[in-house]
Amino acid sequence: MAVIEIRVELKKGVADPEGKNTRKTLEALGFEGIADVKSVKVFEVDMDLPADEAVKAGEEMCRKLLANPVIQNYSVTVR
Amino acid sequence: MAVIEIRVELKKGVADPEGKNTRKTLEALGFEGIADVKSVKVFEVDMDLPADEAVKAGEEMCRKLLANPVIQNYSVTVR
């Protein structure tokens, strides 16, 4: 039994319109000192597997479904 | 200069259709032993502020824009 955290984020250099618009809106609301906003997608997957197998399954999930390798990086960790 | 991580997730009991559909699709792809999939939204905000002020600003961002307090919880940590 393990809970893994799968983190999918855009590769460096890939446009992040969600982050960009979030930043613009935060600045419009008066927040100062923002150098960058990056949007990240996280999936918490609760699995009936030992931790090492759950991480391997999580990496396979990214390859098969959750991440687009052209524009995204992923990482899988145990919570 | 600090990078904060703002994590916005659904409160317990609130329907998570994205997590539910991700789970269904993973199972259709043959993944076994999945007990639950939860979707979480993360913003990485790079700020020109000391860590403690950046965290305070991050919490304010959640209250003003990033989180819906009716259905979501948020947490802000320094990376």
- Give 10-residue mean pLDDT values along chain A (79 residues): 96 97 98 97 97 97 98 97
Looking at residue B26, its pLDDT comes to 98
Nearest chain A Cα distance for residue B33, angstroms: 5
Angle, alpha carbons B65-A18-B49 (nearest 5°): 60
Nearest chain B Cα distance for residue A69, angstroms: 17
Angle, alpha carbons A59-B5-B58 (nearest 5°): 155
Radius of gyration of chain B (CA): 16
Longest Cα–Cα distance of chain B, Å, equals: 47
Sheet holding A2-10, edge to edge: A72-78, A2-10, A34-47, B34-47, B2-10, B72-78
Contact assignment for B46 to A40 by CB distance below 8 Å: no
Contact assignment for B43 to A33 by CB distance below 8 Å: no
pTM of the model: 0.94
Interacting residues of B36 by C-beta distance below 8 A, sequence separation 6+: A44, A45, A46, B19, B23
Looking at residue A49, its pLDDT comes to 96
Looking at residue B56, its pLDDT comes to 97
pLDDT digit string, tens, across residues B18-72: 999 999 999 999 999 999 999 999 999 999 999 999 999 999 999 999 999 999 9
Which residues 18-77 of chain A have a CB within 8 Å of chain B? 19, 22, 25-26, 29, 31, 33-49, 54, 57, 60-61, 64-66
Instruction: Say if residue B23 is exposed, middle or buried (CB neighbours under 10 Å; 0-12, 13-18, 19+).
Output: buried
Cβ atoms of residues A33 and B73 within 8 Å: no
Q: Could you report the predicted ipTM of this complex, rounded to two decimals? A: 0.93
Confidence class for position B6, pLDDT limits 50, 70, 90: very high
Nearest chain B Cα distance for residue A12, angstroms: 14
Note the CATH number of domain A2-78. 3.30.1280.10
